[in-house]
Structure 1
């Protein structure tokens, strides 16, 4: 949208400086009219109003500060904006939520407040326990885990409102509890030969191929989490000791992994002929100028999907197919090789060894080996 604005300025022969008057002229020329069907190549016009708002904010304050909920597309009643903004500030500054966690929580709360709007509520002081029950009970099209996550976000929000005196009583206990079986979900894992087919399909003669291959190697060979891959810097690659040393984004705990030969070779190939000459220290960049670091909200699903399609990989049953599933695959492969659980836990950087036991569900053969012989149980009781 900003590129179109720059083109508009040049075409009109206007001064190359942003002003509110310029923004109004541009909006009058290209703003979307009611009922207008946009032609191919004009979808950028949908973002014109928001893009101008961002420029206004920057021109006025020198920074870009967005209210997270403004990006959700949900309609929150005006009377609820102030407590919602206060909670966002509290969650960011006092609870120290990561940007991705904060965005998810604020979205969940906005869903709830949008529901209250449909029930005729304009302010939170009219909130009753029956509204909370109705909200959860009407989420019939959601998966239980999603309902549990949203309910948790709303519960924390209500506790905050009571703590700040915005609600006369604590309504958080009125939200129905969604019971989920602990560790009930089996992680998705690839067949080992499919991982090798994926890696073999990557064209390592192009910058994209070199970058993607290095990313895939870090996930499939070292089991690095997506967030840690995106945050990886040149300073965390220790070539003299052949290690990668990071502080994990998810747990805040340090993690040291061996820079094994094939991973090191992939990284060196990327650094020599794939990574553009940029000043920032982030290892992985976008592929187009100005080659900024990969956005922290980017799930990098396309990195797997692009090469998976070229490799012609099809799965026998529905499963997760993104970058994180390669981490799961490494865990199950280590488990299948009878690697001790503490070692697997250390490699994956799990805060609790109990988390590692989830992967045992994806390895039936290991479970059979670990099963207790019924006769041993019988003799144990007999003795």
Structure 2
């Protein structure tokens, strides 16, 4: 872990790799190994077979084995012996413009909760922001002078500058005007009851799911969380002949 930190890996990346390495070492111990120096290819294969997340194992454990070899903890580099595994890629769920409009129209905008939820769904469907980035939106991200929303993406750490579209600005202003009583937090989207904490990713999912159900949009065998709005937005851009590199 110290090695990864030294080489600039993010804490989230380190934590994921730590879990896989710990599971791998526990498997080796259960196979009767007393020392990592006793490692043989059959032990790696048995650990792979017993793991629940084979795709993660096939991606994370080679990094660990390569590290052990480069640090002279193992005299052989077993990283290439880890079986390759990839789960089939399922096509993302896409909703058309009419279905997205039905979703938005299902929100009762006469209440504070409705105004908040409508602003969230507008941002998710019109800009394609991830749920984690919506949760993390703060007042310093909204630039009325340049009419932009500027964030550092949680997942990638990359800067993203998006247009503060007129309909999103109206939705935000409507919510924030009524949310004055909850001022004091730097975050925009808060729980409506004390303690007034920022919404979680699961809360964003629940909000999206709630209005899909109210809208009566057909969701059977289709995903109906915030990420489906992100993929729908990307699909709509492609339909409008926006280059793939831009999307």
> TM-score band, normalised by the shorter chain?
0.7 to 0.9
Q: 1:115 aligns with which of 19, 24, 27?
A: 27
How much is the aligned-residue C-alpha RMSD, in angstroms?
A: 2.9
- Determine which structure has more spread, i.e. the larger CA radius of gyration: 1
1:306 to 210, 227, 233: 210
- Match of 2:149, SS state, is strand
- Spell out the pairing of 1:171-190 with structure 2 (5 A cutoff): 171-178=78-85, 185-190=90-95
The equivalent of 2:170 in structure 1 is: 265
The equivalent position to 1:201 in structure 2, one of 93, 106, 129, is 106
Higher relative contact order (CA 8 A, sep 6+): 2
TM-score scaled by structure 1?
A: 0.56
CA distance in 2: counterparts of 1:340 and 1:103, whole angstroms = 36
Contact 2:45 2:83 in 1 (8 A): yes
Alignment of 1:206-285 (within 5 A): 206-274=111-179, 277-285=182-190
Distance in 2, matches of 1:306 and 1:103, equals 32
TM-score normalised per structure 2: 0.83
Structural mapping, 1:1-383, within 5 Å: 87=1, 89-92=2-5, 94-99=7-12, 101-121=13-33, 123-138=35-50, 147-178=54-85, 185-274=90-179, 277-295=182-200, 298=202, 300-315=204-219, 318-342=221-245, 344-345=246-247
Unmatched segments (≥5 aa) in structure 2: none
Corresponding residue SS for 1:300: helix
Distance 2:122 2:180 in 1: 16
Q: Count matched residues.
A: 247
